[in-house]
Amino acid sequence: MAPAVSGLLEMCLYVDDMEASRAFYRRLLGFDPLFSDDRITVFRLPDGSALILFARGGTLEPVETPGGTIPPHDGSGPNHFALGIAEDQVDAWRAHLRACGVPVESEVAWSNGRGHSLYFRDPDGHAGELVTRDLWARS
């Protein structure tokens, strides 16, 4: 049997224009990055997890730290990520996206009756999803 996992801590997106992506997520999420430079931007989410933006191609070599080596990684193409929202905030998020000039690409009312999703694209074409937190609730 595997040891327990406590949850997902990070979601990483690889971006072509760090400045544009940092500004997009700062405006969309409404808070400043925890850390930011030319290679990486970290946004801490309210649940303690992090949305991390990496400059595409900027992590192809190992990164040495005082505590050990971070292995290289990178990605290409449009990725998907989902941010949890409260059920009573779907309309507010729809309005916020519109106010930020971000079109809702798709909207889904899930057939299990447990969730509602708003899909949008970021400057790099990643598919962002704002979804009510009960989508994956146990029955």
Give the β-pairing of 50-55 and 68-70.
Answer: unpaired
Per the structure block, which two tokens stand in for 13? 């997106």
User: What is the tens place of the pLDDT at every residue in 3-62?
Assistant: 888 888 999 999 999 999 999 999 999 999 999 999 999 999 999 999 999 999 999 999
Q: Does a structural domain hold residue 1?
A: no
pLDDT tens, 58-75? Answer: 999 999 999 999 999 999
What residues make up the domain containing 18? 10-60+76-132
3-state secondary structure of 135: coil
Question: What is the CATH number for 54?
Answer: 3.10.180.10
Asked whether residue 68 is domain-assigned, the answer is no
- Cβ(40)–Cβ(53) under 8 Å? yes
In a domain, 139, yes or no: no
CA 20 – CA 102 distance, rounded (Å)? 14
In a domain, 5, yes or no: no
Count of domains for the chain? 1
33 within some domain: yes
Does residue 28 belong to any structural domain of this protein? Answer: yes
pTM of the model: 0.91
Query: From CA 70, how far away is CA 65, in angstroms rounded?
Result: 8
**CA pair distance 28, 44, nearest whole angstrom:** 13
